[in-house]
Structure 1
Amino acid sequence: MALFPNLSSELKQYLVVTGNYWAFTLSDGALRMLVVLYFHQLGFSPLKIAMLFLFYEVFGVITNLVGGWLGARLGLNTTMNIGLAIQIVALSMLLVPTPFMTVAWVMIAQALSGIAKDLNKMSAKSAIKNLVPANAESVLFKWVAILTGSKNALKGVGFFLGGFLLTALGFHDAVLAMLVGLCVVFLCSLMLLKSTVDAAAAKPRFSEIFSKSQSINTLSAARLFLFGARDVWFVVALPVYLTQTLGWQHWSVGTFFASWVIGYGLIQSLAPIITGATSGDTPTGSSATRWALVLAIITGLITAAVYSDYHTSSILVGGLMLFGAVFAINSSLHSYLIVSYSQAENVSMDVGFYYMANAMGRLIGTVLSGVVFQLFGLAACLLISSVFLCIAALVSLRLDGSEA
């Protein structure tokens, strides 16, 4: 930070928070791709691979619900660093010899990783509310879009890194390399992240973890179906389909997912421009409804093409790239709306509750991704995705009449 003496203290802390979030996301994306591809290589069925992530998503739900309360009591800087430390422990658990790498052991490691990811994300998203001046909604949207978009672009790099490292180094050495890098980031975070992003003055009671705001409850319900719609084909079904049915190599699968998520992140960062927010028109609840409907239509068309076996490979790849672009705008709008709707004094609790719903959607999508793909195939996963997106759009209609 001494290299940027003219920056405000708020902007310096924003850069530290963002850098912390970037590093964590890179390791999280790489680890997910490593686990999916490595255990598929070991002969695990799609359902078993999905089960490896079950605790990751379950504890994500719990962490978001409780993590917001912890952030308000302990300080967001503390919860962010705790998240990094837990991820280091999770990576360490995956360094055991292959014979000890049982399903139960990996599920526990993934549970810790899920706790770490959501502590880190909740802390980063909540911190922005405290660093942006009050009533600066266009600035808030811009900062949230940059943080979220750049994070997801790096998650895409992480997917590519996971596939590449598995091919180049093998599972054990790939995990070791990530562990060393994250330890360096953790030490830097301890030194640079200050108490500017600190605990609430009034310590909230644990009974206050459930949101009482109609707008936040409605947005949370829409978020659940939005992310369930993505993960029902994204987590297990598509990587296994590309490898098993289309015969793609691991590095090819990693490259596709990297390109998808990097493009997704770049579009998120540009969302204020795409939606016209840079001209002063910040998003509303009706914006979330419109963009969810657009995404539902796109997914329905992809589903029809896969069911009819009409140029399946090209339409699937091209269509899901378009899905990623429109999904990115949906996600960016949601990320802004939750921070905007939240009260400054309880921002971590409101954001934590919202991302609890996000984690619940991921959990539902992850389980369905393994079960539905194994029983009925990829087309059925895409059909469920279409239905979920229609529900998200219908739920979002209630946002127009809710308080902001």
Structure 2
Amino acid sequence: MPARLSPAVRQYLLITGNYWAFTLTDGALRMLVVLHFHQLGYGPLQIAMLFLFYEIFGVVTNLVGGWLGARIGLNRTMNVGLALQVAALAMLLVPASWLVVPWVMAAQALSGVAKDLNKMSAKSSIKLLVPAARQGALFRWVAALTGSKNALKGVGFFMGGALLTTLGFRPSILIMAAGLALVWIASLVWLKRDLGKAQARPKFRDILSKSGAINLLSAARLFLFGARDVWFVVALPVFLSGVLGWDFWQVGGFMASWVIGYGIVQSLAPYFTTRGRGSVPAGRAAFGWAAALAVVPAAMALLLVQGASAQPVLLGGLALFGLLFAVNSSLHSYLIVSHAKADGVSLDVGFYYMANALGRLLGTVLSGWVYQTAGIEACLAISAVFVAMAAVISIGLPRQPVSAATPA
């Protein structure tokens, strides 16, 4: 790494690089599994069930992983996450006859553990690399990490669809496993050894947050991400492929474009949510942006029920949804890192992302079940209700931003 960069910046770049590489494989794997098993004749609910353990183990991992990161250091939890993702990919290299639902669910469970160890480690580390007085810089660093990660997840979606079309399922998995193994080896060599280890070794009971602000943020995050995944995970790709007749390139390309655009907006969120130089947002902003977002899926569901053409409603509505959701997500990501206590930061961040994983789990299950029983209109209606609940919960968040004078 360039010697002229400060140690904090070098660590930030390494953490971001790890997160980017992991995210590419995670996005591509998600698209490969959805499209490959849809091609094999699996129904929407069956496909959703393939990701059930992915989300369940994400809930557990964030709780336990936050405690583990505070005890052994975030460098180790990040490297364990990378290694587990390589193992999860390797599980899918078995002969095609072995790729039955329980085996794929087990591989997805391992991938879920890996993903949330990696994300919790990356988000927690930023708190430790930015001085407490520089809240504006913290917001920009968190937004850049989160936004770039999601843009690359979109690239991963496209990569998954393209690889499946050109190379097939097994060669695609092999390429991703080999590439991520190289990243893991580099991280073992260069990532700082004592990053994020708490001064006082936390007890296991400390995994539950005692902060009112973090509990409210966590509840709002649960409904926010449930609102996205209730239509995004299964309902949308299956609708585009099965109802509108799109091929794999088109499905992967659209979802990739959506997530890339969403990631770019996330990176720019500080410019949308701050009113003046040096200012940072607080709870009032979280309520306002969530309230605006709730209108979009409600309007889309209403238009589809009234018989409007599905393709323009989905393409236009989901573009607007992505823009507003990106600002909400980036704002929440800053608020949790800002409010988390510095010593043992991964405890608070892990608890918060446990709620995030619980929301994804709820959205994933509902995405397959509701779409199969009631259609995409019902998925969008539930999305609107969930976002409205996130907005109501956000009313209770602190009205004043965190500052150096009032440490979290």
Shift of 1:300: 1.1
> Which position in structure 1 is the counterpart of 2:165?
167
> Which position in structure 2 is the counterpart of 1:325?
323
Shift of 1:5: 1.9
Shift of 1:276: 2.3
Q: Amino acid of the residue matched to residue 321 of structure 2?
A: F
Gaps of 5+ in 1: none
> Which position in structure 1 is the counterpart of 2:206?
208
8 Å contact from structure 2 (residues 196, 344) kept in 1: no
> Which position in structure 2 is the counterpart of 1:384?
382
| Secondary structure at the counterpart of residue 398 of structure 1 | coil
> Which position in structure 2 is the counterpart of 1:398?
396
8 Å contact from structure 1 (residues 91, 175) kept in 2: yes
Shift of 1:201: 1.5
8 Å contact from structure 2 (residues 150, 260) kept in 1: yes
Shift of 1:134: 1.6
Q: Amino acid of the residue matched to residue 352 of structure 1?
A: G
Alpha-carbon separation, structure 2, partners of 1:199 and 1:346:
7
8 Å contact from structure 1 (residues 229, 389) kept in 2: yes
> Which position in structure 2 is the counterpart of 1:301?
299
8 Å contact from structure 2 (residues 197, 344) kept in 1: no
Q: 1:338 aligns with which of 336, 339, 344?
A: 336
What's the C-alpha RMSD, in Å, of the aligned pairs?
Answer: 1.1
> Which position in structure 2 is the counterpart of 1:43?
41
Q: Amino acid of the residue matched to residue 116 of structure 1?
A: A
8 Å contact from structure 2 (residues 124, 196) kept in 1: no
Alpha-carbon separation, structure 2, partners of 1:97 and 1:153:
32
- TM-score, scaled relative to structure 1: 0.98
Q: Amino acid of the residue matched to residue 135 of structure 1?
A: A
More moved, 299-308 vs 257-266: 299-308
Q: 1:61 aligns with which of 59, 62, 86?
A: 59
- Is 1:87 aligned to residue 90 of structure 2? no
Q: 1:250 aligns with which of 221, 242, 248?
A: 248
| Secondary structure at the counterpart of residue 138 of structure 1 | helix
Shift of 1:90: 0.2
| Secondary structure at the counterpart of residue 395 of structure 2 | helix
Q: 2:260 aligns with which of 250, 256, 262?
A: 262
Alpha-carbon separation, structure 2, partners of 1:80 and 1:209:
18
Q: Amino acid of the residue matched to residue 45 of structure 1?
A: G
Q: Amino acid of the residue matched to residue 365 of structure 2?
A: V
8 Å contact from structure 1 (residues 295, 326) kept in 2: yes
Residues 155-188 of structure 1, C-alpha deviation per residue, up to 9 Å, x if partnerless? 0000000000000000000000101110111111
Residues 103 and 277 of structure 1, relative CA distance in 2, 3 Å threshold = farther
Residues 331-370 of structure 1, C-alpha deviation per residue, up to 9 Å, x if partnerless? 0000000000000002100000000000000000000000
- Is 1:133 aligned to residue 137 of structure 2? no
> Which position in structure 2 is the counterpart of 1:273?
271
Alpha-carbon separation, structure 1, partners of 2:217 and 2:31:
29
> Which position in structure 1 is the counterpart of 2:147?
149
Moved over 3 A (4+): 400-404
Shift of 1:400: 3.4
Q: 1:33 aligns with which of 16, 28, 31?
A: 31
Alpha-carbon separation, structure 1, partners of 2:185 and 2:397:
42
Gaps of 5+ in 2: 403-407
Q: Amino acid of the residue matched to residue 110 of structure 2?
A: L
> Which position in structure 1 is the counterpart of 2:355?
357
Alpha-carbon separation, structure 1, partners of 2:304 and 2:176:
37
Alpha-carbon separation, structure 2, partners of 1:251 and 1:97:
25
Q: How many residues align?
A: 402
8 Å contact from structure 2 (residues 284, 399) kept in 1: no
Residues 301-322 of structure 1, C-alpha deviation per residue, up to 9 Å, x if partnerless? 1111111121221111111011
Alpha-carbon separation, structure 2, partners of 1:115 and 1:376:
31
Alpha-carbon separation, structure 1, partners of 2:95 and 2:306:
45
> Which position in structure 1 is the counterpart of 2:178?
180
> Which position in structure 2 is the counterpart of 1:108?
106
